[in-house]
């Protein structure tokens, strides 16, 4: 073998080594999507602004008011969705995760959510027909994601895969699909597309879906929880996160700050169990 060929091969191996070392197997990434309750509707409080540096957010939009740019990692001081959203289940999901995982493990979240949207907005093959009938205020939110929230989520996820490993998907959506018995199948389309577009193994990437505001809080869309409960029949590696006892706002549609904190911890409790860990301080 010629010296030049050997150098080319050696260089290739070195490049492969550099690329592999850039991805940290101890950096756990979680994709978050949904509508307003995943965006975060409650105003965050002072207790929510102190966070462990092991918990990071990959900004999905440019937020000059927060000095954040899309595609870059930042400390998870809320808001974690867009520039002026509120507290979200992702906040206390991540906080609870790092508090209960070994110190060598970091957690990152990517949150792409749109208030009021049906799950159809994240169907990459049919979202345009859905947007064509959407109200102007929703379209303005969609524009922040360059007109395609699904592709923005995938774009950010691919950036995240360069530095970490996607370990799960968090969904909170369903209010706008209340009483739609085909919702689980529609969710499966979105979930399957995400796995395919990011080359993920369904056995290694569970889907965690939260219930909407519960009937015990007077939830106006609580009937949807019966349909959400059937999701594991369609997606084997999926889990339903109970909203029972999670307090809500006066509109009985959104959770309040304490409700988001409790729901976020429950997402984490389930994810920790999947990963083989237990909460140090169970609910």
In the predicted model, what is the mean pLDDT of residues 2-14?
Answer: 41
Instruction: Identify which of 178, 71, 181, 61 has the alpha carbon closest to the alpha carbon of residue 113.
Output: 61
Tell me the CA distances in angstroms from 79 to 55, 176, 251, one per residue in order: 14, 23, 21
**What's the confidence (pLDDT) of residue 10?**
39
Residues in CB range of 19: below 8 A, 6 or more apart: none
pLDDT at residue number 20:
39
The single residue of 123, 172, 238, 254 carrying the catalytic annotation is 254
pLDDT tens-place string over residues 32-80? 999 999 999 999 999 999 999 999 999 999 999 999 999 999 999 999 9
CATH number assigned to the domain comprising residue 33: 3.40.50.1110
Is 79 part of a structural domain of the chain? yes
pLDDT tens digits, one per residue of 70-112: 999 999 999 999 999 999 999 999 999 999 999 999 999 999 9
Mean pLDDT, all residues of the chain: 93
- Would 166 be classed as within a structural domain? yes
**Count of domains forming the chain:** 1
133, part of any domain: yes
Q: Tell me if 50 is assigned to some domain.
A: yes
Q: Which residues of 5-14 are buried (b: 16+ CB within 10 A; e: fewer)?
A: eeeeeeeeee
What percent of the chain has a predicted confidence (pLDDT) above 70?
Answer: 93
Return the SS3 of 74: strand
Answer yes or no: is 12 within a domain: no
36, 113, 176, 238: which one is catalytic? 36
Rounded Cα gap, residues 99 and 268, in angstroms: 10
| 67 a catalytic residue | no
Tell the residue number behind the tokens 């009021």, with chain if given: 116
SS3 content of the chain, % helix, strand, coil (to 5): 45, 15, 40
Nearest C-alpha neighbor of 79 from the set 52, 28, 106, 41: 41
Domain residue limits at 50: 24-275
Which residues fall within 8 angstroms of residue 39, CB to CB, at 6 or more apart? 81, 82, 85, 86, 88, 111, 113, 114, 115
pTM: 0.91
Do 208 and 214 touch, CB atoms closer than 8 A? no
Active-site entry in 53, 67, 132, 251? 251
Q: Is 251 a catalytic residue?
A: yes
Mode of pairing for the β-strands spanning 27-34 and 73-75: unpaired
The answer as to whether 253 is a domain residue is: yes
Q: Where are the beta strands (DSSP E) in 139-253?
A: 165-172, 207-210, 238-241
Tell me if 241 is assigned to some domain: yes
The reply to whether 254 belongs to the active site is yes
For residue 56, tell me if it sits in a domain. yes
pLDDT at 167: 98
């Amino acid at each position: 073998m010629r010296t030049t060929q050997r150098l080319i091969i050696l260089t290739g191996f070195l490049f492969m080594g550099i690329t592999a070392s850039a991805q940290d197997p101890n950096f756990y990434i979680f994709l978050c999507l949904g509508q307003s309750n995943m965006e975060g509707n409650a105003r965050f409080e002072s207790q929510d602004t102190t966070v462990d540096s092991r918990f990071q957010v990959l900004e999905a939009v440019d937020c000059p008011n927060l000095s954040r740019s899309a595609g870059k990692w930042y400390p998870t001081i809320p808001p974690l969705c867009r520039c002026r959203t509120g507290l979200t289940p992702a906040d206390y999901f991540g906080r609870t995760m790092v508090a209960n995982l070994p110190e060598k493990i970091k957690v990152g979240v990517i949150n792409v959510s749109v208030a009021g949207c049906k799950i159809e907005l994240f169907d990459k093959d049919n979202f345009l027909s859905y947007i064509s009938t959407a109200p102007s205020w929703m379209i303005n939110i969609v524009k922040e994601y360059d007109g395609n929230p699904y592709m923005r989520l995938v774009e950010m996820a691919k950036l995240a895969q360069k530095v970490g490993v996607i370990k799960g998907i968090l969904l909170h959506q369903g209010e706008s699909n209340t009483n739609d018995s085909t919702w689980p199948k529609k969710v499966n389309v979105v979930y399957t597309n995400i796995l395919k577009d990011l080359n993920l193994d369904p056995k290694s990437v569970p889907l965690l879906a939260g219930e909407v505001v519960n009937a015990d809080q007077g939830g106006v869309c609580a009937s949807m929880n019966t349909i959400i409960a059937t999701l594991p029949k369609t997606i084997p590696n999926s889990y339903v996160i109970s909203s029972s006892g999670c307090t809500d706002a006066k509109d009985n549609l959104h959770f309040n700050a304490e409700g988001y904190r409790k729901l976020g911890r429950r997402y984490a409790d389930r994810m920790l169990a999947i990963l083989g860990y237990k909460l140090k301080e169970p609910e």
